[in-house]
Structure 1
Amino acid sequence: MESSPDIIVAQATAPIPSGIGVLRVSGRSMEALVRSLTGKGYPVARQASLRSFYNRAGDLIDHGLILYFPAPHSFTGEDVIELHAHGSPVVLQELQVHCLQWGARLANPGEFTLRAYLNNKIDLNQAEAVADLIHAESSQAARSAAMALSGRFSEVIHSMISDLTMLRVRLESDFDFTDEELPVFHEISFRSSLNHLLERLTRLVENSRQGALLREGKQIVLIGSPNVGKSSLLNALTEEDHALVTPIAGTTRDLIRGHMVLQGIPIHLVDTAGIRETGDLVELAGIDRTWLAANKSDLALVVVDVRNGLTEDDRSLIGRLLPDQPKLIVANKIDLLSPECDAVSELKHSLAGVLPVIPVSAQTRDGLDVLKQEMLSGMGIGRTSEAPLLLARERHIGILVQAMGHLQEALRTLESEFVAEELRQTQLKLAQISGKEFAADDLLGEIFSRFCIGK
């Protein structure tokens, strides 16, 4: 796939009213377009210049700043123009229309970043990091994405590829000197290097899996009988009024989603319809969606009214959840217990340690900090490092795991030709992450189609 000579244009800021809006143009030989827009030629490179912007009829659109980044020292590696105007969607639309009438075309999603990759300004992993930085849902995720964009992840991969190259050179040279008593791949130093490389790759996979949590997050479903306080708990955990709360059972008919961040990990909460026997078709549809959401979640919070203990309906509900699905019992409404009531202990005793019981009050927020820690533990998430993790994607993790498999096979085999082939396959797999040596058109299309238009 080669970079297109077309001139592309797109709004780089959100199409909503704002103080400033930015229109980005990339291509070659755009001075005529700049003169048509502003009445003047290119401004001084990489310096903001105040200009008036006109439409094709010569009518004034706006006053703003223009920035010119000449090739190859630009984000895309081509000539790039940025128009900084007042952030009216109408103004930005008029400027874009002018460019389209002049002969530019509207950029495809991710096309600016795709051109940066095709012009060797960034590698494939850095290109993906652009999207991750834009969509980061926590400060830790943003720092990790910025680290990947700076090339840290790529440096780690390239270091491994370099070490693989040296091992392959040693092995291939052995084929030309068959007089040696001990083949290279049987030498202690060679196998030690292979084991060390496998250990590095194993650590990288673990780091990448933790980093993937920062990008993808976890889904937690709140499930229980009607009127046990699921919606109140959702609002309390997210500190926003996502769900309508009333004393009327069955108020929640559809899935209601909320968002929170725990230890830098995005948590997607799903409030569901209360489970009960009903003839209401709308409520039944909501209950069906409840079970679909529950089966896809990483953790189920089974909310119960602590005053009622664990009812038969609660036990039936727990029994319908997937056996291997992590679950917690959230004993809500402890603020309504009388001082002499020991309902929490009775509830824990009735479960006999089968499931953890966390007493909380969605109204007073008591117990929420303990619940948050138990939510993380229930999903198998320990305390994350303060240092930025490698914000890997499932694509990266899959490739790394396959590369590990080839290295493990290289250590098991007894034939030097097979060792050489496994090392070659390992190197090819790792190269897919940066895309420097491997970049199928369908893979690029899949990656960049997920970007927003102005990137």
Structure 2
Amino acid sequence: MDKKKYLNNFFYNDLICAKATPSGYSSIGIIRISGNDNIKFISKKILGFIPKSRYAYYVPFLDKNKKIIDKGIVIYFKSPNSFTGENILELQSHGGPIILEILLEYIILLGARLAKPGEFTERAFLNNKIDLIQAESVIDIIKANSKLALKIALNSFDGIFSNNIKKIIKEIIRLRINLEAMINFPNEYKEDLIIKKKLTKKNILNKIKKLFFLLTLFKKKAFNGYLINNTLKIVITGKPNVGKSSLFNLLTGKDNAIITNIKGTTRDVLKINIFLYGIPISISDTAGIRKNEKNINLIEKLGIKRAIKEINNADLILLILDNKETNIDRFKKFFKKNILIIRNKIDLIKKKELIKDNKIINISTKTKEGINKLKKNIKKIILKKNKIKDENLFCIKNRQIYYLEKTINIINSYIKNKFNEINEILSEDLYLIQKYLEEIIGKNVKKNILKKIFKTFCIGK
């Protein structure tokens, strides 16, 4: 997509306005206007003057009859030194809905139009203030549900992912130019010893391997960033009366689940969202799973069915056994999965009788013995699953990972084939890789893709 042609469209050469703060009552309300020099006309009408760029003024806001609507702060950002790259005027008033509506109606009357969802960020992208990865990360910053998720979204906005992709694109372009020179001018190539040393088959393979390693690493970091930005699902399961609900109450810190000695007390799935080590977690208490018992009624059967569904969708399973369970071999098949096997009610048996197994966590929900150890094991799995120790994780979208995987697949095929031939096909595939990576950062992106991305934003962003 040619950005210049796109910007020449009427809708990208006019004034847009929107509330930049949520609807409802608040202490402050902000209206943002962005666009061409006609913003000065609006400024004169509402403020009575044109503010100096990047200065804050406390002034009255006027309506069409030159009566004061409210008093507040105004800041003017002159193009190109603004978020959108255009002239921006921000009006900060009291946060009453009526005040903001009167201001907005008057601004529209003076020639602006109401912005579409995400249009301010879209204009920032179209004016080369940010790339598409950074633009997409804005929504992740807004919707971050933990400190860690916010940190990762900010990494994307700061360009950690973008800058690495841009470096790889430059390397691919450099490699392509040299390859095409070697193919199209073989005689000149043979005489150039410097280029020849750099473009041996072995050297080319090593360069491609390096690119493969970097792209695979980016995918891993980005995918883990996706996991952190989404709620981790932990499901507690086991037979009836092993202490599932008691553990659920301990982990959530509330008496949400009813606890009795009657089998089948928990009929439905109970879910509570908590934060554990800065990560949003959904913990589910499920119905006790038992088979071949005649006294299971229809409601309990439905509860067991829902429990199995939750288990299948879990990121981590907490399987609880009681202190009488001695045969744990049948659970061995789960050890390769994200599962913690827990033996409860150890307070009812003597320590000498306690079966020790380093793959079993012994706890007592009554005395709380072993609960801290269990939490540490949960933390260990979370850290391993999300690679949280890495400070440079970033968020990723399905669109980005689609092109990343296509690129990795092409490179991987060359590594497997070990470059039997260096020819036009290799050069063409490198060009294709370049195009895929450019799609990620938003170069030559299609209009319909932009519409899909920015329509998910709120109005005013």
TM class by shorter-chain length?
Answer: 0.7 to 0.9
Give the whole-Å Cα distance in 1 for the aligned partners of 2:426 and 2:339.
Answer: 46
Q: Secondary structure at the match of 1:113?
A: helix
- What is the Cα deviation at residue 279 of structure 1? 4.0
Q: Mark the CA change 1:45 to 1:291 in structure 2 (over 3 Å): closer, same or farther.
A: same
Q: Distance in 1 between matches of 2:70 and 2:368?
A: 51
The 1:250/1:129 distance shift into structure 2, 3 A limit, reads same
How far apart are 1:82 and its partner, in Å? 1.5
Q: Which residue pairs with 1:30 in the alignment?
A: 39
Name 1:189's counterpart in structure 2: 203
Aligned residue in 1 for 2:226: 212
Q: CA deviation at 1:359?
A: 3.3
The separation in 1 between residues aligned to 2:242 and 2:270, in whole angstroms, is 16
* Identical counterparts, % of pairs: 34
AA partner of residue 316 (structure 2): L
Corresponding letter in the other structure for 1:145: A
Asked whether 1:328 is paired with 2:345, we answer: no
TM superposition shift of 1:64: 1.3
CA contact (8 A) 2:245 2:259 kept: no
Alignment deviations for residues 157-183 of structure 1 (CA, whole Å, 9 cap, x no partner): 111111111100000111222346789
The equivalent residue for 1:370 is 373
Deviation per CA, 1:303-354, whole angstroms, max 9, x where unpaired?
45x46x4599x999x89x99985332344565xx2473778x35x77xxx8x
SS at match of 1:73: coil
Give the alignment of 1:24-103 within 5 angstroms.
24-28=32-36, 29-36=38-45, 38-56=46-64, 60-103=68-111
Change (3 A) 1:76 1:377: same
Structure 1: state its 5+ residue gaps. Answer: none
Partner SS state of residue 121, structure 1? coil
AA matched with 1:40:
G
1:243 has 2:256 as partner: yes
Counterpart Cα distance in 2 of 1:271 and 1:88: 43
Q: Which residue of 1 aligns with 2:271?
A: 256
SS in 1 for 2:53: coil
Displacement of 1:432: 1.6
Matches within 5 A, 1:424-443: 424-436=431-443, 438-443=444-449
- Using the TM superposition, give the Cα deviation of residue 435 of structure 1 relative to its aligned residue in structure 2, in angstroms: 0.9
Alignment partners' CA distance in 1, 2:247 and 2:29: 39
- Measure, in 2, the Cα distance between the counterparts of 1:56 and 1:322: 71
Question: How far apart, CA to CA, are the structure 1 residues paired with 2:48 and 2:427?
Answer: 61
**C-alpha RMSD of the superposition:** 3.7
Among 138, 142, 149, the residue aligned to 1:134: 142
Shift of 1:186: 4.3
Q: 1:25 to 1:164 in 2, by over 3 A?
A: same
Contact 2:27–2:95 at 8 Å: present in 1 too? yes
Secondary structure in 2 matching 1:385: coil
Whole-angstrom CA distance in 2 between matches of 1:90 and 1:273: 51
Q: Say which is worse superposed, 208-217 or 65-74, in terms of deviation.
A: 208-217
Which residue pairs with 1:340 in the alignment?
Answer: 350
> Is 2:360 the counterpart of 1:357?
yes
Cα distance change on mapping 1:172 and 1:8 into 2, 3 Å: same
Please report how far the alpha carbon of residue 126 of structure 1 lies from its aligned counterpart in structure 2 after TM superposition. 0.9
Residue 159 (structure 1) aligns with = 167
Residues 382-412 of structure 1 deviation map (CA, whole Å, 9 limit, x = unaligned): 7632523233334333322321222233342
Once the two structures are superposed, the pairs formed by residues 264-275 of structure 1 within 5 Å of their partners are: 265-273=279-287
Q: 1:376, 1:382 within 8 Å by CA — same for their partners in 2?
A: no
Distance 1:66 1:187, change over 3 A: same
Task: Tell me what 2:451 maps to.
Answer: 445
Q: Does 1:299 align with 2:316?
A: yes
CA distance in structure 2 between the aligned counterparts of 1:43 and 1:293, rounded to whole angstroms: 58
Q: Distance in 1 between matches of 2:203 and 2:316?
A: 46
Q: Is the 8 A contact 2:59 2:73 kept in 1?
A: yes
Judge which range, 229-238 or 67-76, deviates more.
229-238
Give the drift of 1:285: 5.4
Q: Distance in 2 between matches of 1:311 and 1:133?
A: 49
Call closer, same or farther: CA 1:82–1:289 in 2, change over 3 Å: farther
Matched, 1:406 2:410: yes
Structure 1 residues 170 and 52: alpha-carbon distance in aligned structure 2, compared to 1, 3 A threshold: same
Query: In structure 2, how many angstroms separate the alpha carbons of the residues matched to 1:362 and 1:60?
Result: 65
Structure 2 spans left out of the alignment, 5+ residues: 191-195
CA distance in structure 1 between the partners assigned to 2:447 and 2:228 by the alignment = 28
- For 1:69 and 1:194, how far apart are their aligned partners in 2? 45
How many equivalent residue pairs? 436
Paired residues of 1:22 and 1:82 also in contact (CA < 8 A): yes
What does the per-residue CA deviation read over 1:104-163, in whole Å, with 9 as the maximum and x for residues that have no partner? 443333221111111111000111222222223333332332232122221111111111
